[in-house]
Chain A
Amino acid sequence: MKTDVQVMLQIGFVVMQLIMLLALSPFIVGVIRKVNARLQCRRGASLLQPYADLAKLFDKQPVISSTTSWIFTAAPYIVFASTVAAGLLMPVFISHTPLNFAGNIIALVYLLALGTFFLILAGLDAGSAFGGMGSSREAIVATLAEPAMILSILAIALTAGSTNLSTIVHQSALLEGMVLAPPAHLMALAAMFIVTLAETGRVPVDNPATHLELTMIHEAMLLEYSGRYLALMEWAAGIKLLVFLTLLVNVFAPWGIATEATPLALATGVAVYIVKVTGLAVIIGVIESMFAKLRLFRVPELLGSAFILALLALVFFYTLRG
């Protein structure tokens, strides 16, 4: 009987994590837009506007390009599924996430890459120049971001002695067996932050609010989408943003996360988590307002520096530990 309760509890956690990812991601998008608006002395749309946008898009009749294949209509579901699956692998409000065994950090990165792959295909499928342009640029940004991301997470993983996200987060939450190497951590954090901006298509790498096709990356791939397909793509982009923010706050600042399954710890975990990701979203909004978008061929320099930072984090980890 006890194991049955345990299993039900674990399933409950998965469902709760799923609902949180789905429900919170439009809000985070709303927060960033709001911060951008306020810094431009506009009042900005309501924080709930992204929810209304999604509901409207789901309700609209989609228009599908007649030159496309089944890839075009399948891609939104695959992109959505891969992003959600990646989100379920990482700890959100409880450090021992039930699905942790199904994949470690590499699996998470590669699940997101699965989404990127189909996004690139979707961009090419409609046969317009803009979609191809977006796909081509997404390919180079994703290519350069991946090594930096893997190295920066490895620097943290080595400290925890595991590449399982739950173990990393749990250990650093309890500071158990973690000899803190602040320079290594800070550098890995900086690297990971740059990667986050690149992977989620924020300024200075991409501009999610642009209306000029020639400067688009992510939006260019979605140009031909409408209706429910667009809704799924936009939602997936929001979830991807939330996944990266969660990784940042939980790996580098896991304080407050529930380390055991008591109601109080869970409640604190959820509350602290929402506060932390909202705070990080505000920071991203501020950064977006402070910087201009980089030229595409300056992006490699930015991501190159992220790679070097991650590499230095690794060197510091070993040399400081002796």
Chain B
Amino acid sequence: MTTLLTVLLGCYLLGGLLPLCTSRPHLQNSLAHSSAAAGGSAGIALGLGGLFAAQPLTISVPSNIPYLTCALRLDPLAAFFVLTISLVGLAASMYAYGYVREFTGRVSVGLLGSLLNGFLLSMTLVVLADNGFFFLIVWEVMSLLSYVLVVTEHERRGVREAGLFYLIMTHAGTAFIILTFLLFAQESGSFSFEAFRHPDQRLPEGLRSIAFFTALIGFGAKAGIVPLHVWLPYAHPAAPSHISALMSGVMIKTAIYGLIRVYFDFLEGQFPWWWGFTVLSVGAVSALLGVMYALMEHDLKSLLAFSSVENVGIILLGIGAGMIFHTYGLDELAALGLLAGLYHTINHAAFKALLFLGAGSLLFATHTRNIEQYGGLLRRMPWTGLCFLIGAVSIAALPPTSGFVSEWLIFQSLFLSVQLPTLFLKLMLPIVAAILALTGALGLACFAKAFGLSFLAQPRSPQARHAVEVPVSMRIGMGFLATSCGLLGLAPMLVVPLLDRVTAPFTGVTISGKVLALDGWVVAPVTVEFSSISTPVLAALLVGAAGLGLAIARLLRKKTPARYSKTWGCGLPLTPRMEYTATGFVQPIKQVFETIYQPTVKLEQEFLEQSKYFIRHQRFHSTIEPLIEQYLYRPVVTALLGAAERLRVIQAGSLHLYLTYIFVTLVLLLLWAG
């Protein structure tokens, strides 16, 4: 285990340094991405090893700085997240080997590869850190490296703005995490996580609740929960696609890790029911708003980023339900909720990274992210198309894929609210389940749009018409994740025991024997009587029924082969302009939910002088109002800018004046201290 950890750290460090020692782009590319891939493979082994280890592995390197020890601890929770990070990291580094060619000449490939290694290393250390100070340092390194990666294409104005927005939000979040840790440190007198876990005396109730909220805000800003998500749809798409995959797939999961660590490990014990309910509500709002904005987005990468907000919400539904059950001492159900949330965490890591890599391939082939400019790509890029379809079906939670299993488990844990003692929660959890159903249905529409309008029908732009399939290394990266998605869905009997080892220390019960019934062929929410599914059987049923359809069709048909002909265009030659556009596709949804979207449509028409029935040209402009930015952030920013404007009076630029300020401040401080 220690060897594996050393290999992992060594690979990432070498991958971070070596590419900077040579100036040949091709060598840089190979060095950086092969060591990142090696580190990822070591990480997968380390994660699996850590999940099965009897005792957590701890390593501690003391330092001269007070409170800081470079302490690492590989317990099952950390091991699970190391596994998730490394899985996506491995795929992203294989993909990046081909993808960075896109950047040759514009950005240093060596620098990009070196930063990738550093980013992977920092994320791994975040989940391994066992000391508050050390955690904050690697957390900050992770944030800064991802910022640098976001602004890779800094020559574009939008990218710079997205980066700045991200930097501000992530630091606001870090401030809240520092607050949380300070609260714990105050009680335990140390920054070691071990001391947080077993303080001399428990925090008073009020402070525990404050720690709950500061952790929720601090980690929530990174996870992208509504209303702290506003930076995410700008920052994630701006980065190179394999970095977007890492940011959306795993970086936001480090925040989920932080929340579980704080709530179930540091604040363990009975917490009030409204904690769980708050997490649940935040999750429900994030899930619904996330998917609704994703639907309206026609920039493929922004769509995927908004959908990450949705999926973080869904993960929080599982965790929130687990917390509520934990409050009432229903340990098995608490474990179920937590397990469902974690299952969705690894699933989302796999399919969201896959979709981002797919979006990157489209960007690579067409040089645009706009869905309106795509079309007909499945015939031109069959492998990318197939991988994207697998990702889309998984994220839409359709059986028998991975997303279906985890969403199904979350549904079941919400339905089992029937065992809760209070009427309020008994009623609210099914309503949350209905919101999840609505989210699921909107997600289906969203990814039917994302796949259908990108890959089907005729190309709507010259770039799409001339697109060709991406290089092999990129296809391998996507194929690896597509296989993982399939495995996570079809083999829950392999996944559930792993997750059970993560949740067992927090809930005190192991449930994998109950969740997996009938020799592991069936997944059930603790009781088979309540409900059960079996994805392998469902897959077999689907294949069997499709085979039956094929057999019937073969039996009943004449021997004439199919004839190919043009689509009926009402007598006109069929052009791509006759197709439905992404805007048109979501128009009914926009109109039905107009209270949330608040759409504005501007139509400018210019007529011929002779008659107003003939239009010379017209412009159509349609926007939706980002409610949260408009009503929550704009007032704050306006107030801040106003205050800054007023404070400008004291900034005259004269050195004498500033010296006077220093003097006055000194005198005032002396007076105050005296």
A interface residues, Cβ below 8 angstroms from B: 18, 55, 58-71, 76-78, 80-82, 84-85, 88, 99, 101-107, 110-111, 113-114, 116-117, 120-121, 124-129, 131-133, 135-137, 139-140, 142-147, 149-151, 154, 157-158, 161-164, 167, 223-224, 227-228, 231-232, 296-297, 300, 307, 311, 314-315, 318
Contacts and interface: CB of A to CB of B under 8 A. Distances in A.
B399 interface: yes
Interface in B428-449: 430-431, 433-435, 437-438, 440-442, 444-445, 447-449
Interface residues of B, number: 88
Contacts of B458: 67, 127
B664 interface: no
18 contacts: A18-B548, A59-B556, A61-B560, A63-B564, A65-B565, A66-B567, A68-B456, A101-B528, A103-B399, A104-B532, A107-B399, A120-B452, A127-B574, A128-B568, A135-B448, A139-B585, A151-B437, A163-B531
A13 to B, nearest CB: 15
From B445, B447, B548, B561, name the one whose CB has the most chain A CB atoms within 10 angstroms.
B445
Contact of A154 (B399, B415, B442): B415
B325 interface: no
B586 to A, nearest CB: 7
B580 to A, nearest CB: 2
B662 interface: no
Contacts of A78: 542, 546
B457 A125 contact: yes
B585 A111 contact: no
Nearest to A110: B399
B437 A162 contact: no
Given A101-B537, A106-B531, A150-B437, 5 more contacts: A67-B457, A81-B546, A102-B534, A124-B585, A142-B445
Contacts of B306: none
Given A103-B533, A161-B530, A231-B553, A143 B589 contact: yes
A85 B457 CA distance: 29
Interface of A is mostly: helix
Interface stretch (B112-120, B266-274, B390-398, B488-496): B390-398
Nearest to B414: A154
Interface in B389-409: 393, 396-399, 404, 408
Contacts of B431: 311
A61 B457 contact: no
B379 A117 contact: no
Contacts of A101: 518, 522, 528, 532, 534, 537
Given A64-B564, A85-B545, A71 B456 contact: yes
Interface of B: 376, 378-379, 385, 393, 396-399, 404, 408, 411-412, 415, 418, 423, 426-427, 430-431, 433-435, 437-438, 440-442, 444-445, 447-449, 451-453, 455-458, 518, 522, 528-534, 537-538, 541-546, 548-550, 552-553, 556-558, 560-569, 574, 576, 578-580, 584-589, 591-592
Nearest to A61: B560
Contacts of B561: 61
Contact of B457 (A63, A82, A126, A143): A126
Contacts of A161: 418, 529-530
B519 to A, nearest CB: 12
B574 A110 contact: no
Given A88-B541, A121-B456, A147 B567 contact: no
Contacts of A63: 562-565
Contacts of A113: 396, 398, 440-441, 444
Contacts of B564: 63-66
Nearest to B540: A102
Contacts of B385: 69
A125 B437 contact: no
A117 B541 contact: no
B649 to A, nearest CB: 55
Given A127-B579, A151-B430, A164 B418 contact: no
B541 A124 contact: no
From A62, A70, A102, name the one whose CB has the most chain B CB atoms within 10 angstroms.
A102
Nearest to A70: B378
A54 B561 CA distance: 18
B445 A77 contact: no
A117 B398 contact: yes
**3 tightest A-B CB contacts, nearest first:** A132-B580, A127-B457, A58-B556
Contacts of B584: 132, 136
A65 B458 CA distance: 11
Contacts of B586: 136
Given A58-B557, A64-B563, A162-B531, A80 B592 contact: no
A316 to B, nearest CB: 11
A163 B434 contact: no
A14 to B, nearest CB: 10
B437 A146 contact: yes
Contacts of A111: 399, 538
A102 B560 contact: no
A228 B441 contact: no
A124 B457 contact: yes
Nearest to A78: B546
Contacts of A133: 580
A66 B566 contact: yes
B408 A106 contact: yes
A13 B609 CA distance: 75
Contacts of B587: 136
A153 to B, nearest CB: 10
A322 to B, nearest CB: 9
Contacts of A164: 529-532
A62 B578 CA distance: 24
B141 to A, nearest CB: 41
Nearest to B455: A69
Contacts of B537: 99, 101-103
Contacts of B530: 161-164
A163 to B, nearest CB: 4
B545 A128 contact: no
B290 to A, nearest CB: 15
A78 B441 CA distance: 19
